[in-house]
Structure 1
Amino acid sequence: MFGTSGIRGPVGEEVTAALALSVGRAVASDGYETVVLGRDVRDSGSMLADAVAAGLNECGGDVLEVGVEATPTVARAVSRYGADAGIVITASHNPPTDNGLKLWTPSGKAFGPEQRESIARRVREGDYAFADWDEVGRRSRRDDARDHHAERIREAVSIDESPSVAVDLGNGAGAITPAVLDDLGCHVRTLNGQQDGSFPGRPSEPNAETLEELARLVAETDAEVGIAHDGDADRMVAVDETGTFVPKDVLLAIFARRAAGEGDRIAAPVDTSLAVDDAVADAGATVTRTRVGDVYVAERTTADDVVFGGEPSGAWIWPGETRCPDGPLAAAKLVELVAAHGPLSALVEDVDRYPIRRESYEVDEKDAVVASVRDRLRERFEEVDTNDGVRVETDEGWFLVRASGTEPVVRVTAEARTDARADELFELAAGVVSDAA
């Protein structure tokens, strides 16, 4: 039922009011007595939020509704209101036909594997603790969640200059970002600011292909940086002052380099570029690799020496602030860097970049293929990382063989410091996959 990013799927097929009702019942039955509830801009969100709230109330849970807000705003509100959990109705960067539910702890971290499995088991088995007629939960409204989030962002950054910034909200729930940047003294231009769950301005996922309008706006104006969010604003990506999209691994390296000090660690997934390792090495820091998925990155940031976590999807976590990927905070952090150390193109240029090869192979039994690859590679290499797929590091690079979480494919990634070595590592990995298939 749960993926690494919660529950997601087509509305009316995989994601229904009945499912939302069951999740609400399960969460309250599992002992979460007070739950913050919010949603993104999708039209189906209102229906699903009502169903979740009904399920929570039915099993004695109280609901604190914050309405349409960015996911990190809702996640931060859990501790703000002394609640036990948070639920966001969102499909994040997925198309408008989809919706979903993501569950949050008071630390700002999404529910972990054990918590998710406990909820999923109750749903499967119909194991609900219904409240007596006079002990059902209550629904109440909270209207200051965004104000609290904005205040925390303002406290987390210091911007002495007044840079010009363009923000593409993608018709999503990230209105807090231009408001906070304006409060910080920036001159802000906004694209696709009207909230619309059909995402008419551009697809919800922000990437180089979907941000052409933002790139043009930045290139043709005095904007020093362009910021873009996905539908629920947990992700943040950027274009530099020339209108050039900043590669996400490079953005991760830029953030990590500024966050890290001697002896610190940065959490990043197994498919993260060597550029991040090299970026933090000068500061005496190292990278600790996690499974792919921001929930796993967030979990690793609970270690005392991990000062920052990032995933090249555009999820950035400063654990001293929150363990929820916080797109508005990341936007303010990036503008702070540009104001103090920019231009952004120079920060990008200062990050070493290496040749990387990626390919996907359709297979009948992806998990069996990866298991076979693991056994074969253990015969050839002394150290094989099986934390998420099969990853092998060499002196000059690395390669990863990993089953897709959503498709019947095995993905092969290889990176090295030279083109020739990247080709060699990719061919080695692809060859083992071919033999295993």
Structure 2
Amino acid sequence: MFGTSGIRGRIGEEVTCDLALAVGRALASEGYDRVVVGRDARESGRALADAAAAGLRECGADALRLGEAATPTVARSVGWRDADAGLVVTASHNPPRDNGLKLWNPSGQAFDEAQREAVAARVRADDYALADWDALGEQTQWDGAPARHVDALADAAADGDCSIVVDVGNGVGQVTAAALRRLGHDVVTLNATPDGAFPARPSEPTAENCAGLVEFTAASDADLGVAHDGDADRMRAVTADGEFVSGDVLLALFAREAATPGDEVAVPVDTSLAVADALESRGVSVVRTRVGDVYVAERAGESGVAFGGEPSGAWIWPAETLCPDGPLAACRLASLVANRRPLGRLVDEIETYPLRRGSVRTDEKAAVMDRVRERVRAAYDEVDALDGVRAETDDGWFLVRASGTQPLVRVTAEARSRTRVDDLFENARRLVEDEA
């Protein structure tokens, strides 16, 4: 029922009000007595949030409703309001037809695997501790969450006087513009009206989807542009010249600023060599996790880890919150540019390498991965099977990993030369094709 990013799926099929009601009941039955409930701008979220809150109350838990709010706003609110858990109705960067639910701890960290399974087990078994007629939970509304988030962002970033374009993507990340203005920046917003149909662009902030931001930023006198997905847990960036910044490069810039010698930075197994290379000279090391911001957050919560990030746009400063906070990332990036130098020049400092991605279709992903894993272990000395199988060589690496949602095995390779990356990629792809 739960993936690494919570529950997501098509409305009326995988995701229904019955399911939201059941999750609310299960949360309360597991002992979460006070739960913050928020949602993104998708119209279906209204009914789903109502159903989840009803399930909570039916089993004796109190529901603190935020209405429309960014996922990091909801996640932070759990701790701010002394709640036991948070529930966000969102499908993040998925298309408008989808919705979902994601659960949060007071630390800002998403529910871990054991917590998710406990909730899922109750839903599967229809096992709920329904309250007596006179012990139903209460529902209250808190409208102050966005303002509290802006205050936290202003405290966590330095003042500056940059000119910044913020593409909200018709999502719920308006706190970014408010916080940047509080910090002294000049802000222009694009697609700032919440609309869960995402009429301006697809929700995921990729280079292709953010072409409008790229063009606008390059044509203006802005120092940088930033973009969010629908629930603002992700943030991507554009230089003054209109270059969409690679997620790996952005990860390296954030990590280099956040970490000090002896620290570690948590990154998923598909992260570029560029990050480790940029940090090595500063005495900072990377520690790899499974792919998914929930796994990065779990590792970022450990002692000695100063930062965690995913190249897709999820950035975690554990001293602030263990939730990926797109608005915080935007404010921290603006401070970095204001206090250092143009973003384009910072980007140019990070050396990047050739990288190739591809996939092989198969209906037997698990069996194929088992066979590929054994062959890779036999052929390479440095092998990591944390998530899929990753092989390291002197000048590159490749990763073979089953897709979590499609009948595909994905192949990624990177090396310090074009010839070598081609060799690594083709060798890895042939391994998969031989076993598929």
Matching residue of 2:269: 270
Structure 1 residue 146: deviation in Å? Answer: 1.2
Q: Quick check: 1:126 aligned with 2:141?
A: no
Structure 1 residue 382: deviation in Å? Answer: 2.9
Matching residue of 2:115: 115
Matching residue of 1:57: 57
Is the Cα contact below 8 Å between 2:213 and 2:225 reproduced in 1?
Answer: yes
Q: 3-state SS of the aligned residue for 2:120?
A: helix
Letter in 2 for 1:245: F
Residue deviations 1:243-289, cap 9 Å, x none?
A: 11101111111111111111110000000000000111121001100
Matching residue of 2:93: 93
Structure 2 distance, partners of 1:383, 1:398, is 10
Residue deviations 1:284-332, cap 9 Å, x none?
A: 0011000000000000012111000000110000000000000000000
Matching residue of 1:222: 221
Q: Comparing 382-391 with 271-280, which one deviates more in the overlay? A: 382-391
Structure 1 residue 235: deviation in Å? Answer: 0.3
Structure 2 distance, partners of 1:246, 1:384, is 30
Structure 2 distance, partners of 1:436, 1:301, is 36
Is the Cα contact below 8 Å between 2:23 and 2:52 reproduced in 1?
Answer: yes
Structure 1 distance, partners of 2:64, 2:415, is 50
Is the Cα contact below 8 Å between 2:11 and 2:97 reproduced in 1?
Answer: yes
Matching residue of 1:390: 389
Structure 1 distance, partners of 2:255, 2:360, is 32
Is the Cα contact below 8 Å between 1:85 and 1:106 reproduced in 2?
Answer: yes
Matching residue of 1:328: 327
Gaps of 5+ in 1: none
Structure 2 distance, partners of 1:296, 1:108, is 13
Is the Cα contact below 8 Å between 1:355 and 1:417 reproduced in 2?
Answer: yes
Structure 2 distance, partners of 1:434, 1:218, is 43
Structure 2 distance, partners of 1:179, 1:387, is 40
Letter in 2 for 1:20: A
Structure 1 distance, partners of 2:363, 2:5, is 25
Matching residue of 2:317: 318
Matching residue of 2:182: 183
Structure 1 distance, partners of 2:214, 2:417, is 30
Q: 3-state SS of the aligned residue for 1:188?
A: strand
Structure 1 residue 434: deviation in Å? Answer: 1.6
Structure 2 distance, partners of 1:226, 1:124, is 45
Matching residue of 1:411: 410
Structure 1 residue 4: deviation in Å? Answer: 0.8
Structure 1 residue 421: deviation in Å? Answer: 1.2
Structure 1 distance, partners of 2:308, 2:173, is 21
Letter in 2 for 1:383: E
Q: Between Structure 1 and Structure 2, how many residues are aligned?
A: 436
Matches within 5 A, 1:242-391: 242-391=241-390
Matching residue of 1:431: 430
Q: Quick one: percent identity of the two aligned structures?
A: 61
Structure 1 residue 342: deviation in Å? Answer: 2.2
Structure 2 distance, partners of 1:372, 1:71, is 39
Matches within 5 A, 1:36-47: 36-47=36-47
Structure 2 distance, partners of 1:31, 1:65, is 19
Structure 1 distance, partners of 2:335, 2:82, is 31
Q: Comparing 74-83 with 381-390, which one deviates more in the overlay? A: 381-390
Q: Quick check: 1:199 aligned with 2:203?
A: no
Q: 3-state SS of the aligned residue for 1:379?
A: helix
Q: Quick check: 1:163 aligned with 2:156?
A: no
Structure 2 length normalisation: TM-score? 0.99
Is the Cα contact below 8 Å between 2:382 and 2:393 reproduced in 1?
Answer: no
Structure 2 distance, partners of 1:188, 1:200, is 22
Residue deviations 1:401-421, cap 9 Å, x none?
A: 000000000000010111111
Is the Cα contact below 8 Å between 2:229 and 2:235 reproduced in 1?
Answer: yes
- The CA RMSD over aligned residues, in Å, is 0.7
Q: 3-state SS of the aligned residue for 1:384?
A: strand
Matches within 5 A, 1:24-35: 24-35=24-35
Matching residue of 1:105: 105
Letter in 1 for 2:237: A
Structure 2 distance, partners of 1:134, 1:279, is 60
Structure 1 length normalisation: TM-score? 0.99
Is the Cα contact below 8 Å between 1:35 and 1:87 reproduced in 2?
Answer: yes
Matching residue of 2:70: 70
Letter in 1 for 2:339: A
Greater than 3 Å deviation, 4+ residue runs: none
Structure 2 distance, partners of 1:291, 1:378, is 18
Letter in 1 for 2:224: V
Is the Cα contact below 8 Å between 1:256 and 1:279 reproduced in 2?
Answer: no
Gaps of 5+ in 2: none
Structure 2 distance, partners of 1:434, 1:217, is 43
Letter in 2 for 1:430: R
Q: Comparing 404-413 with 382-391, which one deviates more in the overlay? A: 382-391
Q: 3-state SS of the aligned residue for 1:9?
A: strand
Is the Cα contact below 8 Å between 1:233 and 1:328 reproduced in 2?
Answer: yes
Is the Cα contact below 8 Å between 1:42 and 1:196 reproduced in 2?
Answer: yes
Q: 3-state SS of the aligned residue for 2:155?
A: helix
Structure 1 residue 192: deviation in Å? Answer: 0.4
Q: 3-state SS of the aligned residue for 1:24?
A: helix
Structure 2 distance, partners of 1:148, 1:129, is 34
Q: 3-state SS of the aligned residue for 1:332?
A: helix
Is the Cα contact below 8 Å between 1:53 and 1:63 reproduced in 2?
Answer: yes
Q: Comparing 333-342 with 264-273, which one deviates more in the overlay? A: 333-342
Is the Cα contact below 8 Å between 1:23 and 1:123 reproduced in 2?
Answer: yes
Matching residue of 2:145: 145
Letter in 2 for 1:11: I
Q: 3-state SS of the aligned residue for 1:309?
A: strand
Structure 1 residue 148: deviation in Å? Answer: 1.4
Structure 1 distance, partners of 2:216, 2:373, is 47
Is the Cα contact below 8 Å between 1:37 and 1:49 reproduced in 2?
Answer: yes
Is the Cα contact below 8 Å between 1:399 and 1:413 reproduced in 2?
Answer: yes
Matching residue of 2:4: 4
